Amino acid sequence: MADILRFADKLGPAKIVQVYEPSIDLKAVLVIDNISMGPAFGGIRMAADVSIEECIRLARTMTLKNAAAGLSHGGAKTVVYADPKMPKPEKERLIRALACALRNFREYVMGPDMGTDEECMAWIKDELNNRNVTGLPAEAGGIPIDQIGATAWGLRHAIEAALPYCHFPEACTLAESRVAIQGFGAVGKNAARFLIEQNAILVGAADSQGAVYDPEGLDVNKLIRLKDAGKSVVDIPEGEKFPRDDIIDFDCDIWIPAARPDVVTEENVHRLKAKLVVEGANIPITEAAEKYLHDQGVMVIPDFIANAGGVLCAGMEYQGKIESEVLEIIEKLIRKNTRLILEESRTKKITPREAAMNLAVRRVERAMSFKRWSIY
């Protein structure tokens, strides 16, 4: 007990739940961080190397993300210890068993995350037969988050709102910017698509198989077709190929981490050349590395501000809204919050993350003050 309680602070986590079913080798952890603002939203992440600590950190990010977005929801996360590329029947069996194991946690609203998708959410809905799931296919009454690019749409508008605050040698607009994207899954692909529509230039991309760089610009549509066909960004004929982690060295104006946690740390942060970093993934940069970048004049837009488009979409789906209402709301809110934290960062001489934390924690603590038992 004492070992798990080392993660506790004034905001949570409220519950840490082990899920285990030996007959199908289901191993998972659910963390419900804080539900003072309402039922907890949190995706299901599947990977072989997930951990309790990662789950706890991601659940906290969801608490902050929902609060900053003004949603009446708390934060949670589930991690499943498994290879997401397993055969579909095995994956379906695991997901359905997980749904059954978590069926009594009414305060938890499940959604997709890395390694799970809309089809997984449809399996969960079939098992639970209720509304405690978001990110459903359109045919199941949902708003397809990945298909419409909700998270990436928010990233695009966070970037546009942040550019006037950046310390570029001369004025930089999105139309002139050189972008590198670490992680070319659903978020990375859609971010690239939205940004080139504004005449940005994608100079670098990376996935689990490697990285590719072309200072003249990569063909984004060709990269997307390759990924949709199950191939890698390094299968594109153009550009110079590198190991996947070398994308941190690519010369660019804007760098977007859109994959796993802690890809930028104190050990490699000095290699980053961009002047603006916009976090498409959750917890992709350690706090010490973010502080180093801030001190070097590199602006970092924190995860729970920049990539909140997905959870905003989930919140609207949960409320029964339709797809046509989503993108405009995401655009307005993320632009507003990005400007809000950057103004406070500049005025108070603090990091953007500190300003974002002030915004989110203030809202959570206000909600907690009305509760008999604080975080419940």
> Residue for token digits 């941190």?
248
Nearest to 114 by CA among 57, 43, 56, 184: 43
- Which of these CATH numbers, 3.30.70.2190, 3.40.50.970, 3.40.50.10860, 3.30.360.10, describes 2-144? 3.40.50.10860
> Is a pLDDT exceeding 60 seen at residue 298?
yes
- Mean pLDDT, to the nearest integer, of 219-236? 96
> What pLDDT does 129 receive?
84
Measure the CA–CA gap between 92 and 59, rounded to whole angstroms: 24
pLDDT digits (tens, 9 = 90+) for 161-202: 999 998 776 657 888 899 999 999 999 999 999 999 999 999
Alpha helical stretches, state H, 129-219: 145-148, 150-162, 186-197
pLDDT digits (tens, 9 = 90+) for 340-375: 999 999 999 999 999 999 999 999 999 999 999 888
> What pLDDT does 1 receive?
47
Q: Does domain 150-355 have CATH number 3.40.50.720?
A: yes
Q: What is the mean pLDDT of the chain?
A: 94
Measure the CA–CA gap between 11 and 30, rounded to whole angstroms: 17
- Mean pLDDT, to the nearest integer, of 22-49? 97
Measure the CA–CA gap between 22 and 137, rounded to whole angstroms: 30
Evaluate whether 139 touches 119 at the Cβ level (below 8 Å). Answer: no
The catalytically annotated residue of 15, 65, 77, 125 is 77
Nearest to 41 by CA among 104, 149, 113: 113
> Residue for token digits 């498409």?
280
Tell me the residue type at 355.
Answer: A
Helix axes 118-128, 88-101, angle to 10 degrees: 50
Tell me the residue type at 204.
Answer: G
User: Phi-psi region for residue 217, left (φ > 0), alpha (ψ -120 to 50) or beta?
Assistant: left
Measure the CA–CA gap between 376 and 368, rounded to whole angstroms: 8
Q: Are strands 299-301 and 276-278 parallel, antiparallel or unpaired?
A: parallel
323 vs 218 pLDDT, higher one: 218
Measure the CA–CA gap between 337 and 70, rounded to whole angstroms: 10
Q: Which of 23-32, 49-58, 128-137, 145-154 has the lowest mean pLDDT?
A: 128-137
Alpha helical stretches, state H, 30-185: 52-68, 88-101, 118-128, 145-148, 150-162
Q: Do domains 2-144 and 150-355 have the same CATH topology?
A: yes
> Is a pLDDT exceeding 50 seen at residue 40?
yes
> What pLDDT does 143 receive?
87
> What pLDDT does 171 receive?
57
Domains of the chain: which residue ranges? Answer: 2-144, 150-355
> Is a pLDDT exceeding 80 seen at residue 276?
yes
Measure the CA–CA gap between 131 and 128, rounded to whole angstroms: 8
65 tagged catalytic:
no
Nearest to 222 by CA among 240, 210, 207, 234: 234
> Is a pLDDT exceeding 60 seen at residue 258?
yes
